[in-house]
C-alpha cells in the first residue's frame, strides 16, 4: 500500500512531506533514511511529517527528521514549505510551540520562528558556558531556535572541512548545526551551514535565524538582516518582542506515491 508525498524546496534545501492525517504512515529510522536517500529513495535534506495537532490554535502538527533518523525541533525552510503547501497562512505546531505563518504581497512565506533560547542548558551545552563566546577555536556563539546552532563569524570557507568534527564536539550533547558566517554589512550576512544529521545544505532557515540572533548579540549585525546562502537569501528580523521572523520562498517541486 503506497503513501502520497510532496517534494518541496526552499532555497534548494529540500524536503519530502507526508501528511499522515489522511493516510497511514509511521516514521521509523529505516523508512525515514530510505526516503531521504538520493539513490535508493526519493531524496531530501529532511523528511517532514504532518499530523493532527494537539494545541489549540494550531492547524497542523509538523515533525522534522534528518536523513540519519534524528528528529529536529525546528526547520525553517521546511516550515515555509508546509505553510505554502497548506495555504491560508496556517499556524504550525512544532516542538517549540505554535509558529504562525504569513504570505507577503510577492508570494513569499513568512514564519514567526518564536524566540531564541540563549542559555547554555537550552542550546544545550554539556557544561555551564557563556553562549556568546564558546570555548572553541574561532570562538563561535550559540543559541537554540528549537534546535542547537553554533555560529562562527570568521568566513564561510571552512564549512565542509570543519563542520563534521564540530557537529560532534563533546560541548554539544545533542550535536549541533554549525554556521559559518562572513559579515558583509551590519544588515547583510553571507552564511553556510553544516547541518546536524544532514551535512552541508544549500540553505538553512533556522541556521539563518540563529546566525542573526548571535550576530546581534555580538553587536556585529542589525536586527533586520539579509542572510545570503548558497541557495539564495532570506530576510530575517529579530524583533523587539523577542521573536524571529523569517521570510523567503517555498516551492512545490512534484508529488508522488511512495510504496511502503
Ligand atoms: N534545514 C533546516 C534545519 C534542519 C536542522 C536539522 N539539521 C537539525 O538537526 O537541527 C532549516 O531550514 O532550518
pLDDT along the chain (260 residues), means of 10: 96 98 92 97 98 98 97 98 97 96 97 98 98 97 98 92 97 98 98 98 98 98 98 98 98 96
Q: Tell whether 96 and 149 lie within a shared domain.
A: no
User: What is the Cα–Cα distance from 2 to 30, expressed in whole angstroms?
Assistant: 16
User: What is the Cα–Cα distance from 31 to 260, expressed in whole angstroms?
Assistant: 8
Q: What is the pLDDT of residue 1?
A: 85
Q: Tell whether 17 and 96 lie within a shared domain.
A: yes
SS3 210: helix
Flag whether 128 is in a domain.
Answer: no
Q: Tell whether 42 and 93 lie within a shared domain.
A: yes
Q: Tell whether 63 and 23 lie within a shared domain.
A: yes
Q: What is the pLDDT of residue 260?
A: 81
Instruction: Give the closest residue to 206 by CA, choosing from 95, 91, 43.
Output: 95
Distance 186 CA to ligand 1 centre (A): 25
Flag whether 117 is in a domain.
Answer: no
SS3 207: helix
Q: Tell whether 151 and 80 lie within a shared domain.
A: no
Q: Tell whether 85 and 14 lie within a shared domain.
A: yes
SS3 173: coil
Q: What is the pLDDT of residue 136?
A: 96
Q: How far is CA 45 from CA 183, 203, 224, in A?
A: 26, 10, 27
Please indicate, yes or no, whether the overall pTM of this predicted structure exceeds 0.80: yes
Substitution site in 9, 72, 123 for ligand 1 pocket (most atoms within 8 Å of beta carbon) = 72
Atom in ligand 1 nearest the alpha carbon of residue 149: 10
Instruction: Tell me the ipTM for this assembly.
Output: 0.92
Residue 195 grid cell: 547541518
Domain at 14, CATH number:
3.10.310.10
Q: Tell whether 81 and 15 lie within a shared domain.
A: yes
Look at the chain and report how many structural domains it folds into. 2
Q: Tell whether 98 and 40 lie within a shared domain.
A: yes
Pocket of ligand 1 (CB under 6 A): 13, 45-46, 66, 70, 72, 74-77, 147, 177, 195-198, 201, 204-207
Q: Which domain holds residue 37?
A: 2-102+249-259
Flag whether 198 is in a domain.
Answer: yes
- The answer to the question of whether 196 is labelled as a binding residue is yes
User: What is the Cα–Cα distance from 85 to 8, expressed in whole angstroms?
Assistant: 9
Flag whether 107 is in a domain.
Answer: no
Buried b (16+ CB within 10 A) or exposed e, 181-205: bbbeeeeebbbbbbbbbbbbbbbbb
Instruction: Give the closest residue to 115 by CA, choosing from 208, 211, 243, 238.
Output: 243
Flag whether 135 is in a domain.
Answer: no
Flag whether 8 is in a domain.
Answer: yes
Atom in ligand 1 nearest the alpha carbon of residue 205: 12
Q: What is the pLDDT of residue 157?
A: 86
User: What is the Cα–Cα distance from 47 to 44, expressed in whole angstroms?
Assistant: 7
Substitution site in 33, 147, 173, 232 for ligand 1 pocket (most atoms within 8 Å of beta carbon) = 147
Atom in ligand 1 nearest the alpha carbon of residue 147: 10
Helices 76-86 and 205-217: crossing angle in degrees, nearest 10, is 130
Q: Tell whether 146 and 217 lie within a shared domain.
A: yes
Q: Tell whether 91 and 172 lie within a shared domain.
A: no
- The answer to the question of whether 76 is labelled as a binding residue is yes
H helical segments located in 105-247: 159-167, 205-217
Atom in ligand 1 nearest the alpha carbon of residue 78: 12
SS3 99: strand
Distance 185 CA to ligand 1 centre (A): 25
H helical segments located in the chain: 29-36, 76-86, 159-167, 205-217
Flag whether 114 is in a domain.
Answer: no
Q: Tell whether 255 and 202 lie within a shared domain.
A: no
Flag whether 176 is in a domain.
Answer: yes
Q: Is-contact 66 73, C-beta < 8 A?
A: no
Q: Tell whether 34 and 70 lie within a shared domain.
A: yes
Substitution site in 145, 193, 206 for ligand 1 pocket (most atoms within 8 Å of beta carbon) = 206
User: What is the Cα–Cα distance from 142 to 123, expressed in whole angstroms?
Assistant: 7
Distance 241 CA to ligand 1 centre (A): 24
Cite the active site residues: 75, 204
Amino acid at each position: 500500500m503506497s503513501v502520497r508525498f510532496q517534494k518541496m524546496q526552499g532555497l534548494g534545501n529540500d524536503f519530502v512531506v507526508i501528511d499522515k492525517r489522511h493516510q497511514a504512515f509511521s516514521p521509523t529510522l529505516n523508512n525515514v533514511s530510505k526516503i531521504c536517500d538520493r539513490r535508493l529513495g526519493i531524496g531530501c535534506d529532511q523528511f517532514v511529517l504532518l499530523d493532527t495537532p494537539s494545541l489549540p490554535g494550531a492547524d497542523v502538527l509538523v515533525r522534522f527528521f534528518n536523513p540519519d533518523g534524528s528528529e529536529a525541533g525546528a526547520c525553517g525552510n521546511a516550515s515555509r514549505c508546509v505553510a505554502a503547501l497548506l495555504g491560508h497562512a496556517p499556524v504550525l505546531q512544532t516542538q517549540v510551540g505554535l509558529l504562525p505563518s504569513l504570505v507577503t504581497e510577492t508570494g513569499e512565506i513568512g514564519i514567526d520562528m518564536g524566540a531564541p533560547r540563549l542559555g547554555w542548558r537550552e542550546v544545550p551545552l554539556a557544561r555551564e558556558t557563556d553562549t556568546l563566546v564558546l570555548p572553541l577555536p574561532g570562538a563561535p556563539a550559540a543559541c537554540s531556535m528549537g534546535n542547537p546552532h553554533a555560529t562562527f563569524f570568521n568566513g564561510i570557507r571552512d564549512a565542509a572541512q570543519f563542520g563534521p568534527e564540530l557537529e560532534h564536539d563533546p560541548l554539544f550533547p545533542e550535536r549541533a548545526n554549525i554556521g559559518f558566517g562572513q559579515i558583509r554589512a551590519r544588515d547583510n550576512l553571507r552564511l553556510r551551514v553544516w547541518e546536524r544529521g544532514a551535512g552541508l545544505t544549500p540553505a538553512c532557515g533556522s541556521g539563518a535565524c540563529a546566525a542573526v540572533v548571535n550576530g546581534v548579540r555580538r553587536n556585529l549585525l542589525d536586527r533586520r538582516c539579509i542572510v545570503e546562502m548558497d541557495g539564495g537569501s532570506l530576510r530575517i528580523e529579530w524583533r523587539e518582542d523577542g521573536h524571529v521572523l523569517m521570510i523567503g520562498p517555498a516551492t512545490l517541486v512534484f508529488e508522488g506515491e511512495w510504496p511502503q
